[in-house]
Structure 1
Amino acid sequence: MKKFYFLLAFFCSILLHSQERYFINSDTRLYTSANTSNFLGYFKYGAQVQLLSENLNGWYKVQADNLTEGYVPGKFISKSLNASDIKTTDPENPIIFGGDNYHGSNHLFVLAAGLKARSLPDKNSKIREILFTGDPVTIDYLPKNEDEWVNISGSFDPEYARFTLRKFVGKRPDMKVLLKDFDNLNVENIADRKTISERIVELAWNSDKTTLLPAYQRYYEVIKQLNDPKLLADTELNMAIARGLMKSKKAEEIFAFTKKAEFSLKGTKTRSLYLSQTELVKIFGKPTKKANVSDECGIYLSDLFYYYPDLEVSVDEKKNQAEIVKVFINENNKLIINANSILDNSISEKAFIEKYGTYIEASLKSPHKYSIVMEDSQFRLEFKDGKLFSVEIFFYC
């Protein structure tokens, strides 16, 4: 019941004050009361607040985006932001202002591995996203208390708001420091070695790819101590991915590699990624489903899609044309990149990485999924249970 009232209060608060949202026009702080130096946290220029009172002798009572209430001097509150705003900088404010090489707005970085971002400032609320060490996150208001919640979405909107604890965000982690911390640990301190090595691996994915293999080598030391067969296999695969990414081919080499790619569908080659509607129906028969898809970018041949158990196709019935969008790889279907590079359901994920690792793009956030770029699109390959499961054509908007 207590949780129900909390949620009700949260949404009611949003509704009551949704028309009273204002901006912070300079660095300032959220104070515990008017005319005091005691404060709860830091605002950065551009932060949104909801007014909870009229002007009180030069102060407003406001609500920050993490739902904390306090007071702000009236001179720092505006209905809108302007280029002429005089921004006073608070040297003690930890929030990084504006854009840098990592993020385009006010932000800090994730410090923990596998950080859960939640829909509400409540440890039992829905997990919206898993964040990794070194991920930049939008922060406009930062509580002073490290055990308080911080909104890392830059939005009051309940649909988009994401929360984590203050202690898990800060300045971007330093790889050299993490490596030194790991190397200084007693080899028998497996728990701490695992925690730090996980952070090292995640930060490496958010850094220069040349740091990936050294990161995984340290992590692998710990996994061997744990003697977990699945973790060992996964780590060995990731080390192979790291080796490939460190030696990535140049874009023109990859374009040349994929230039003549085509599918073989039930023994019929598709002549690149296209075929006629007549050929499509001849090979697969009538589709199990037809549907119109939203295509705001105009990237597909047509809004009309044919769905088969084996593939998904964009079809222009008037022009008798079909464009392959996704193929499920099985004993009948395969991707032929060239005469020496045929991807069918017999190729294992490990063998694929070992042979084509220098051609791929990969992400720790999408395990077992890889991209190979073409000039106007890319192949997205998904592996399941160690075997190639599907190939999707992703067209650039």
Structure 2
Amino acid sequence: MVIQAQNHKYINADTRLYNEATTNDGFKGYFKVNARVEVLSTQTSDWVFVKADNDNTGYVQSKYLSVKYNSNQNIVEDSDNPILNGDNYYGGHHLFVTVASLRARGEPNLSGEIRTILTMGEPVRVKYIPVEKDAWVNISDNRYIQRKYLNERPSYDALALSYASIEKSNTNERLKIAERLVELAWNSGYTYLKSAYLVLLDVATDTNNTALIKSTQMYLTLADGLEHPLPSEMVTSFIEDASFKIKGVQINKQMADLNTVIDTYGQPIKMENISDECGVYYSSTFYHYKNMTLSVNPEENLAEIVDIILDENSVFIMNENSIIDHTIIETEFIKLYSKYIRTSIQDLHTYTIFNDYGGYNIVFKNGKIYSVTVFNLC
């Protein structure tokens, strides 16, 4: 056996991670093409001892290892490999989360730091999948979940039938399935969203959960707007002349006189140069104030708003008839603008209004307006 310095290689076709240097002694998991492995040692000319991205170790035939990423589209696939190819939900190799509010951890164990919360029906990147159900899967960026919570995309209709079969007195189970329906609906476009929230409202009403009733009613309004949005040209027209007013100073098209800003707010708390490869900002020089960030060009004496925390000194003027100030609450905002906005379960409480070149992210915290971020598309 030859011990090698640490190096990495790519799997060049569907294959498996074997227990021993033979195909006759069982295997630990499945690889998809371009999975990255760490080479630990070379056993023979035909077999290499490797570590997968979830720290599983085992053997791979050397013919399936390449130094470079494989762009060949004509790859022989393993029909038993459960990892899915790209589809309408995810462009690369993936599987779907099959439970609600799943914690992804920073290490492959239950003691690992919680990195993110995943939702029912959410697609996640998978390049290696272990066979053992309790084993851990690296879903990118060293975020791990257990194998038993990944599978093909769940069926909304099947889950709805499951909910309908639950005894009405079994409120805990009804709530669990209702929450799964809501998450799955969010990850299925907006078609099922209203029906899912109606199911959740049914449970909330039966249990007299006033907080859940209130939030669900808000989301029902949101779901209706998301399912029946206004035409994009109408939304663009609605927002095309948006501006801000800060301490009485009108800022049209997000551009302000830099000297006026400094006279009003003083020198920034922090100045920095950022990387802007796409050129989406007016300048790569950023001025940070307590309640706003500006992209500035001192030579031209101009500053462009990047984001602003709305307070008693600032308002966001979407148009002359639609002015957002620090007093607006989330439920009222949704009632007024649900047909103009887009959002997702990953960014709940952040609502996007698009224009021709980007748009605005309007953020709420604890039911109250928090900030507005201006963004341009790359």
Do the structures match in fold with TM over 0.5? yes
Q: Once superposed, which parts of structure 1, at least 4 consecutive aligned residues long, lie more than 6 Å away?
A: none
What is the CA distance between 1:291 and its match in structure 2?
A: 0.3
CA distance in 2, matches of 1:148, 1:266: 57
> Kindly tell me: are residues 237 and 61 of structure 1, through their superposed partners in 2, closer, same or farther at Cα, counting changes over 3 Å?
same
- 2:117 counterpart of 1:117: no
**Counterpart amino acid of residue 251 in structure 1:** S
Equivalent residue runs for 1:234-313 within 5 Å: 234-282=215-263, 284-296=264-276, 297-313=278-294
CA distance in 1, matches of 2:255, 2:70: 51
CA distance in 2, matches of 1:272, 1:81: 44
CA distance in 2, matches of 1:173, 1:25: 30
**Counterpart amino acid of residue 37 in structure 2:** V
Residue 48 of structure 1 is matched in structure 2 by 36
Secondary structure of 1:46's aligned partner: coil
For structure 1, which runs of at least 5 residues remain unmatched after alignment? Answer: 1-15, 154-159
CA distance in 2, matches of 1:113, 1:349: 24
> How many residues matched?
374
> Kindly tell me: are residues 148 and 319 of structure 1, through their superposed partners in 2, closer, same or farther at Cα, counting changes over 3 Å?
same
> Kindly tell me: are residues 328 and 43 of structure 1, through their superposed partners in 2, closer, same or farther at Cα, counting changes over 3 Å?
closer
Cα-Cα RMSD: 2.2
**Counterpart amino acid of residue 132 in structure 1:** T
- Which stretch of structure 1 is more off in the superposition, 221-230 or 312-321? 221-230
Residue 65 of structure 1 is matched in structure 2 by 53
CA distance in 1, matches of 2:4, 2:17: 18
- 2:94 counterpart of 1:130: no
- 2:47 counterpart of 1:78: no
**Counterpart amino acid of residue 96 in structure 2:** F
- 2:188 counterpart of 1:207: yes
Residue 142 of structure 1 is matched in structure 2 by 129
> Kindly tell me: are residues 301 and 46 of structure 1, through their superposed partners in 2, closer, same or farther at Cα, counting changes over 3 Å?
closer
Secondary structure of 1:121's aligned partner: coil
Secondary structure of 1:185's aligned partner: coil
Does structure 1 retain, via aligned residues, the 8 Å contact 2:274–2:285?
A: no
> Kindly tell me: are residues 51 and 277 of structure 1, through their superposed partners in 2, closer, same or farther at Cα, counting changes over 3 Å?
closer
Residue 5 of structure 1 is matched in structure 2 by none
Write 1 or 2 for the structure with the bigger share of strand: 2
Does structure 1 retain, via aligned residues, the 8 Å contact 2:48–2:62?
A: yes
Residue 396 of structure 1 is matched in structure 2 by 377
**Counterpart amino acid of residue 148 in structure 1:** A
Percent pairwise identity = 37
Does structure 1 retain, via aligned residues, the 8 Å contact 2:130–2:136?
A: yes
Residue 345 of structure 2 is matched in structure 1 by 364
**Counterpart amino acid of residue 102 in structure 2:** L
TM-score by length of 2: 0.91
> Kindly tell me: are residues 301 and 79 of structure 1, through their superposed partners in 2, closer, same or farther at Cα, counting changes over 3 Å?
closer
For 1:22, which of 1, 6, 9 is the aligned residue?
9
Secondary structure of 2:163's aligned partner: helix
1:53-103 CA-partner distances (Å, limit 9, x unpaired): 324363322222211122223333333354568733322211113x22122
Secondary structure of 1:31's aligned partner: strand
For structure 2, which runs of at least 5 residues remain unmatched after alignment? Answer: none
CA distance in 1, matches of 2:118, 2:13: 29
Secondary structure of 1:362's aligned partner: coil
> Kindly tell me: are residues 87 and 380 of structure 1, through their superposed partners in 2, closer, same or farther at Cα, counting changes over 3 Å?
closer
CA distance in 2, matches of 1:198, 1:242: 15
Residue 376 of structure 1 is matched in structure 2 by 357
For 2:78, which of 78, 85, 90 is the aligned residue?
90
CA distance in 2, matches of 1:260, 1:85: 47
